[in-house]
């Protein structure tokens, strides 16, 4: 296993109680010194560890350590509650929309992959720019419906998503029964469970008489293989509720 030997990595292991005892002594000696910068790094590492837990960025062992060894003080439990509230607030305010939202000019925010895609279309491949002005989905877009319940563990057949070699954007329509939640959050995972993409602040819409939550993501994220999407319903001041799981297999068409 690779061990993160950066200061952040060491401090994270210290906080989780999984650090080598010799290194722990070094950390303690610096903790009980007048090194203000180290102390601030420690406090920062604590905040970021809590955020990682809230965002489900910790692996299974780290989560176990977090819950059993880290979360043992009132102050840390309060910080966890605060981190959850802050995350919910940011999501409500729209800061946590799809992908990386970064500023392009004043107050205008677009996802970074969209900016990158726009750059490719507008600058690198000028011959394709006509597609942007064309109404409706571009020629390279792929749209597919996914239904929940076709889970491999119960032997159901996986839904297949065929992607042409030039596809750039994929719209996945997740069919839902739930209409109780004002907004939704979707996370996409490899079959191994590793999260590869997420989108917040999604709304459900009626598409041709079917209720769905639509995700738009860059096709490059979908290499050939098995994936699943977990859909959560988000209501103000409540933890997100897990609703459905959508399993599918990506097949890349040859050039």
Partner 1 sequence: MTPPLHRRSLTAESWDALFDFLDPSRPKRRGRDRDAEAEGRFLEITRKLVYFFAGRGCRDSEDLAAETMLRVAGKCAALAGAGFSDPIAYVYGVARNVLHEWLREARTELTSRGSALKDPTLLSASDTEHRRNEEEHQCLETCMARLATGARRLILNYYGADKAAKITCHRELAEQFGKSLNALRIEVHRIRNTLRRCVLECMQHEVAGTAR
Interface residues toward partner 1, by CB under 8 A = 14-15, 17, 19, 24, 27-29, 31-34, 39-40, 42-44, 47-48, 51, 55, 57, 67-77, 79-82, 85-91, 93-103, 109, 111-113, 195-200, 236-238
- Rounded to the nearest whole angstrom, what is the least distance from the CB of residue 210 to partner 1 in the complex? 27
Q: Which residues pair with 202 in a beta bridge?
A: 184
Q: Give the residue carrying structure tokens 């897990």.
A: 242
Of 34 and 177, the one with the shorter C-beta distance to partner 1 is: 34
Decide: 113 and 100 in contact? Cβ < 8 Å: yes
User: Which residue number, 97 or 245, has a Cβ lying nearer to partner 1?
Assistant: 97
- Least Å from the CB of residue 149 to partner 1: 26
* Three-state DSSP class for residue 25: helix
Query: Judged by CB, which is closer to partner 1: 175, or 220?
Result: 220
CA atoms within 13 A on the CB side of 171: 14
- Would you say 19 or 172 has its CB closer to partner 1? 19
Q: How many CA atoms lie within 13 A of 61 on its CB side?
A: 5
Residue 54 CA to residue 42 CA, distance in Å, equals 19
How far apart are CB 55 and partner 1 at their closest, in Å? 6
**Distance in Å, CB of 191 to partner 1, minimum:** 17
* Nearest-angstrom CA–CA distance, 216 and 143: 9
In this complex, which beta carbon is closest to partner 1, that of residue 98 or of residue 167? Answer: 98
Backbone angles phi, psi at 77, to 5 degrees: -65, -40
Shortest distance, CB of residue 157 to partner 1, whole angstroms? 29
């Amino acid at each position: 296993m690779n061990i993160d030997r950066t200061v952040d990595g060491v401090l994270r292991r210290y906080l989780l109680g999984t650090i080598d005892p010799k290194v722990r002594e070094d950390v303690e000696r610096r903790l009980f010194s007048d090194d203000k910068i180290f102390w601030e790094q420690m406090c920062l590492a604590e905040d970021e560890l809590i955020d990682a837990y809230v965002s489900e960025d910790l692996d299974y062992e780290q989560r176990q350590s977090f819950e059993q060894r880290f979360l043992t003080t009132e102050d840390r439990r309060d910080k966890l509650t605060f981190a959850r509230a802050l995350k919910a607030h940011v999501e409500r305010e729209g800061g946590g929309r799809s992908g990386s939202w970064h500023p392009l000019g004043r107050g205008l925010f677009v996802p970074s992959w969209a900016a990158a895609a726009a750059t490719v279309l507008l600058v690198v491949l000028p011959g394709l720019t006509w597609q942007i002005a064309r109404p409706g989905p571009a020629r390279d877009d792929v749209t597919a419906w996914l239904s929940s319940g076709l889970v491999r563990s119960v032997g159901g057949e996986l839904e297949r998503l065929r992607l042409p070699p030039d596809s750039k954007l994929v719209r996945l329509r997740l069919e839902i029964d739930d209409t109780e939640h004002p907004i939704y959050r979707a996370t996409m995972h490899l079959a191994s469970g590793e999260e590869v993409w997420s989108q917040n602040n999604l709304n459900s819409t009626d598409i041709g008489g079917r209720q769905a939550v639509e995700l738009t993501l860059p096709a490059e994220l979908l290499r050939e293989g098995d994936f699943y999407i977990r859909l959560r319903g988000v209501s103000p001041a409540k933890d997100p509720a897990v609703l459905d799981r959508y399993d599918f297999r990506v097949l890349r068409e040859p050039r």
